[in-house]
Each structure stands twice: as C-alpha cells, then as structure tokens.
Amino acid sequence: MAPTAAEQHTRKAVGLAARDASGHLSPLAITRRSTGDDDVVIKILYCGICHSDLHSIKNDWKSAKYPMVPGHEITGEVNEVGKNVTKFKTGDRVGVGCMVNSCQSCESCNKGFENLCLGIIPTYNLVDLDGTITYGGYSSMVVVHERFVVRFPDTIPLEKGAPLLCAGITVYSPMKYHGLNIPGMHLGVLGLGGLGHVAVKFGKAFGMKVTVISSSPGKKQEALERLGADAFIVSKNDEEMKAAMSTMDGIINTVSANIPMAPLLGLLKPNGKMIMVGLPEKSMEIPPFALVATNKTLAGSLIGGMRDTQEMLDLAAKHNVTADIEVIGAEYVNTAMERLAKADVRYRFVIDIGNTLDKAAATTTE
C-alpha cells in the first residue's frame, strides 16, 4: 500500500518504548513530524532518567498511553531548523525539558509561564496539537517548536547538564519566586536524591547556608564533603531536629514519601516557607496550627517556564552547577529502572543515546 501524504512527510526514528504496565523498555520504530516553519530538529545525544519516567511506564498515575517512549531531560545538537526559526542554527547545542508545546496565547504563556498553561503538552505520553502522541527523549531524534528549546552553554557537558532540564528547573524556579535565593539566608533541603542534590548546589550558588534534612545518616559525609552543604540533620533524630527548630528561612521539600509534616514545619522561622516539589502518592495531613501559629507558608511548584529554564542553565554555567550522574548505554535501561526503584543511583542515570541506541536497536527486530 502506498504511503499517505502525511506519512511521506514524517521522519523515521527509533525509541525505547514500554508496551504495557510491566514497564519493560525495548526498541520501537517511531515517526516524528516533518519540520514545521517554527520547528527545531534535534539529534538526541543524551537523555536523563527521571523518577517520573519510572512511574509513567508502570502506569502508576493511571494515565499511560502505550506504546510509551519516556524521557524529558533531552540534550543534543540541532540538525535542521524551520524557516521562521531565529534563535537556533544547525550544529547548536540544545536541550528540551518537560514540555514541548502549550497554547502559547493564554495569560500564563504570555507571562513566560508555559508550565502553568492549561493546554501544556508534556514531552511524552499526551496528544500534541497535531493529533500525534508525544514521544520522549529515549529516542534518536525529536522535532520541537522553537519556543520549547533551550540553548546549552558551552561550559556545561551535555550529559551532566541533561538532568537540569527537569531536576534543575524544578528546584530553581521555587527558589527564585519564593525569595529563597538571597545570600546569607538559611535554606533547608529535604531529601538528598536527584532533586535534592541539585537544590544543594543551587543554594550554594546563591550564597546561602544550606542544611540537608534526610532520613539516611549514611548520606551525611557526601552531603557535607562532596556537595558542599553546611550542615546535615537526620530527620529521625529528635535531638538534632530539636536543635534546628525555628532556624530556617525556607525548605525545598523534594521527598515523594508520606512523612509527618509538623516536625519539618517546626524547622522554619516565623514567616518561613516550605515549597513542595516532590509528589507523595497519598494525601498529606497538615496540622493547621503548625502553619497558622507562626505565619508559615506551604506551597507547591511545578517545573518552570522556558525563560526561567534558560536563565537557570546560564546561572548553572556561571557557577559550575551540574548533576552528579551515571552514564549508561541504551541496553542497560531496564536494569537502570530496577535500580532506580531501589534508589540505587547517585544521583541520576543518563542514557548515552548517541553512541548506544542504534546498536541496541540493531540487536532487536520488532
């Protein structure tokens, strides 16, 4: 059968896809749309593995659309641009984060907060405006509207910078908009994982005193000596928690587990703020008195807009902020997911797409 006009203008690519809720990933031939006037065609070189990728392929959030190609921490180089594109040219080092489109006309979009648009199109697992299912960065290439592409500073290695496109902007944005970026302030970082370790680095880049709050005593040395935190509190140690009461201006809460909130809110000074960026599976119980008595704020934050994402990368380049990563080949991705489920990574897996995906695909015929 002859291809349709639409099929003649699509691009062939290969991705690592989950077919069902088992979450097992294997090569799949996919198509990308042809280059639109406002599009940037990107050869993907690296893609970070976010914990939300694991939730998505397992259908933990009951919204999976299979086959699913995950990945929203994408870095690579520009292969082609549409005729209206002005910010990028062939050969540029670029990145794509958690979204690839929005309505581009609402109040949020017009203010640079595309992440808050009701019509946001995530990088994978949703229907795009052209009716196609979005496929993520565990793939050989991607076609993205210019607005949702960021320029990568030359001083940041693509592999170490890839996680900043999710983890970086996720912690940077609330620090900026909640005033937790002022030198000399005391910032608490709750949880030392993919998000937390980047929050520590940005806190220090802002000139803040940073205290890590963790349930794992074994992370103390790494937090202090390797990541540069000023102090470390074991959240299960009542004496350490009591000594730190009312000392912090703000806390970035990166934890996705359901934990008692009152003791953590007690660490805040009067008028202090806790910003949640982790997503616990169950509803939280918040004692009203823990907020009201000393005028504290509990807020949430979801990634950030494109302008802030570029700003975050530029600041990261200035202060040498990158993610701590373990680079893996495409053939290792299922093992990496098993390890991620056990929190067995320091602190982010990054797939070497450019050097290993084609080889992994060649060993599988589907």
- List the pLDDT tens digit at each of the 366 positions of the chain: 444 444 446 899 999 999 999 999 999 999 999 999 999 999 999 999 999 999 999 999 999 999 999 999 999 999 999 999 999 999 999 999 999 999 999 999 999 999 999 999 999 999 998 888 899 999 999 999 999 999 999 999 999 999 999 999 999 999 999 999 999 999 999 999 999 999 999 999 999 999 999 999 999 999 999 999 999 999 999 999 999 999 999 999 999 888 999 999 999 999 999 999 998 878 889 999 999 999 999 999 999 999 999 999 999 999 999 999 999 999 999 999 999 999 999 999 999 999 999 998 887 644
Same domain, 156 and 183: no
Classify residue 252: in a domain, yes or no.
yes
Per-residue pLDDT reduced to its tens digit, 310-353: 999 999 999 999 999 999 999 999 999 999 999 999 999 999 99
Same domain, 13 and 152: yes
Classify residue 237: in a domain, yes or no.
yes
Q: pTM of this prediction?
A: 0.94
Cα torsion angle, 233, 236, 242, 246, sign: positive
Classify residue 315: in a domain, yes or no.
no
Dist CA 73 CA 76 (whole Å): 10
Classify residue 357: in a domain, yes or no.
yes
Same domain, 43 and 109: yes
Same domain, 184 and 287: yes
Same domain, 224 and 279: yes
Same domain, 147 and 24: yes
* Token pair 């680079």 in the structure block, residue: 327
Same domain, 154 and 181: no
Same domain, 235 and 255: yes
Same domain, 43 and 84: yes
Domain extent at residue 156: 5-166+322-363
Same domain, 110 and 213: no
Q: Where residue 32 sits, what CATH number does that domain have? A: 3.90.180.10
Classify residue 199: in a domain, yes or no.
yes
CB 195 within 8 A of CB 167: yes
* Token pair 């990933």 in the structure block, residue: 25
Classify residue 316: in a domain, yes or no.
no
Dist CA 130 CA 249 (whole Å): 45
Same domain, 152 and 187: no
Phi-psi category of residue 331: left, alpha or beta, with phi > 0 → left and psi -120 to 50 → alpha: alpha
Quick one: the chain helix, strand, coil %, rounded to 5?
30, 25, 40
Q: Is 145 exposed, middle or buried (0-12, 13-18, 19+ CB in 10 A)?
A: buried
Q: Where residue 237 sits, what CATH number does that domain have? A: 3.40.50.720
For the chain, what is the domain count? 2
Same domain, 9 and 135: yes
Classify residue 311: in a domain, yes or no.
no
Classify residue 307: in a domain, yes or no.
no
Q: 148: closest CA among 132, 133, 134?
A: 134
Q: Is 117 exposed, middle or buried (0-12, 13-18, 19+ CB in 10 A)?
A: buried
